[in-house]
Amino acid sequence: MKKKILIVDDEVMIREIFREAFEAIGFVVHEASNGKNAFSKIQEIPFDCVLSDVRMPGGDGIELARNIHSLSGPKPKVFLVTGFSDLSTQKATEWGVIKIFDKPFNFKSILDEIENSVRTPHVHSPG
């Protein structure tokens, strides 16, 4: 069964680039332009993972990660992309974020890391 990823970014071009790349390696790709739209989709569709920008109008990636973390049951793995160094990795992991990619990012490393991550089982600790 194909893995489902949700790409969350307020820039259409970034979403399109990621869409093409993830579809090329066999993912089913959904998109959202901000954290609020993304969270609505996550409540309707069981995603394997979410790749979200951190700073976006209409709901940022940190708020999205916290909302996902608060869900009961299976949750998608969350990856964040940021151009800002003010994001605490420790805080982010408390909200269930697997990894934070800094801009400018290595595109292939993001694809490889997410592909490897969704192929290995993820155990959610209670809390």
pLDDT digits (tens, 9 = 90+) for 91-120: 788 888 999 898 888 888 999 999 999 886
Phi and psi at 109, nearest 5°, equal: -65, -35
- pLDDT attached to residue 24: 95
Task: Specify whether the CB–CB gap between 124 and 75 falls below 8 A.
Answer: yes
pLDDT of residue 45: 95
CATH 3.40.50.2300 fits 4-119, yes or no: yes
Helix (H) or strand (E) segment spanning residue 62: helix 61-70
Q: Return mean pLDDT, the chain.
A: 88
This model's pTM is above 0.85: yes
Cα 22 to Cα 7, 54, 113, distances in angstroms: 10, 20, 12
Question: Which residues, 6+ apart, have CB-to-CB distance to 108 below 8 Å?
Answer: none
